[in-house]
Amino acid sequence: MYGKPNRYTAYAMLAKMYLNSQVYTGTPRWNEAIVAADSVINAGGGSLYALQPRATYMNMFAPNNGPEIREFIFAIPYDASVTNGFMFHARYDVNRNHGIRFLYSGSTPGTNVNPIMNLTTGNGLVNNRPSGPRMTLPEYFAYFNDPNDIRNNQWLSGRQTWPDGSPIRVSTTKRGFDQFYTGSDGGAAIIYDLELSPTFSLRQNPLTFDCGNDEIAWNMGTRNIKFAPDATNRSNRNQNNDVPIFRYSDILLMKAEAILRGGTPTLGQTALSLVNSIRANRTTSAPWTSVTLDNLYAERAREMSWESWRRNDMIRFGRYEDRWGLKTDANPLKRIFPIPNNALQTNPKLVQNPGY
């Protein structure tokens, strides 16, 4: 059944719907969320699904992941060799000077051990340059504040190195490094150590969210490699990493939240025991002694990053209208997107959502 929805996919979806019932309908349904979560927890007599151990957490998202991952309740299988792929995480997340470091499609170090990026000399030096425009916000990265947490390994931040620990170096010009450099020697060559800054600024055009067209801009922001760059596919940008939609850890976190919000505990599990069962498989730090909704919100950030649930969480926790990053709009109507004009023209029975 891998890659196909089964009954437990339906229960996971029900748990998610019941957890968001108060947002969707105004009526909370915490106990129904717990019952749906328990249907997944009890699957196969409680043995069908399990948490991935800390030591192999990152393996869940690797290019060779698949049906052996017992945390996956439903995942989308990607196979770059037999389909068009369309799984492009590395293309957007890996810094443009990381091509050789992660053996990105079309990139090869040749005979160089630690080549200098962009330097045209050197045997077989090729860097295919993933476009790499996507970064995380400093506010989100701040949730990853436990040095013993294996989930920190999904981030690229600060000084960047080769596997042997030596710095990744990049060749460019003074103006190539900083497009706003005004000296007469702007074309002079320089070599710098690659470092990713955690913050960003719209140096070129704030109206189009443009940080610039130089090395400073390209190196802004912490990057995510949870879905690791696929070095097995050298022919195109597609990746073989399967992408989970529902994971067992999400089920446990949803049940913990439903209990915290007023649902009745079941199976001898409490919100604290459920969260600690996950953290025991993610960090060597001491178990929590208490849990609040704020703690749980932060834990969901750490556990579910890059799996497309954050917007859903922010709305449910009443955080979507907060200021974060470049966002200043606090209008709750923006929780719902507008219906596109072409859809309205095609189907005259559709009614535009409020506020648009």
Query: What DSSP state is assigned to residue 94?
Result: S
Query: What DSSP state is assigned to residue 289?
Result: S
76, 129, 171, 193, 227 from 121: Cα distances, Å? 42, 17, 11, 18, 32
pLDDT reported for residue 220: 96
Q: How many CB atoms lie within 10 A of CB 240?
A: 19
pLDDT reported for residue 82: 79
How far, in Å, CA of 351 to CA of 344, rounded? 7
Tens of each residue's pLDDT in the chain, 356 residues: 899 999 999 999 999 999 999 999 999 999 999 999 999 999 999 999 999 999 999 999 999 999 999 999 999 999 988 767 789 999 999 999 999 999 999 888 877 888 899 887 665 677 888 999 999 999 999 999 999 999 999 999 999 999 999 999 999 999 999 999 999 999 999 999 999 999 999 999 999 999 999 999 999 999 999 999 999 888 888 999 999 999 999 999 999 999 999 999 999 999 999 999 999 999 999 999 999 999 999 999 999 999 999 999 999 999 999 988 888 889 999 999 999 999 999 999 999 999 89
Average per-residue pLDDT for the chain: 94
pLDDT reported for residue 12: 98
pLDDT reported for residue 123: 59
Please, are residues 283 and 149 in contact by the beta-carbon 8 Å criterion? Answer: yes
Residue closest to 303 by CA, chosen among 8, 68, 60, 12: 60
Chain centroid to CA 326: 19
pLDDT reported for residue 122: 63
pLDDT reported for residue 83: 67
pLDDT reported for residue 326: 86
Q: Domains along the chain?
A: 7-77+242-341 (1.25.40.390), 82-233 (no CATH)
Helices 7-19, 248-260: crossing angle, 10 deg rounding: 30
pLDDT reported for residue 255: 98
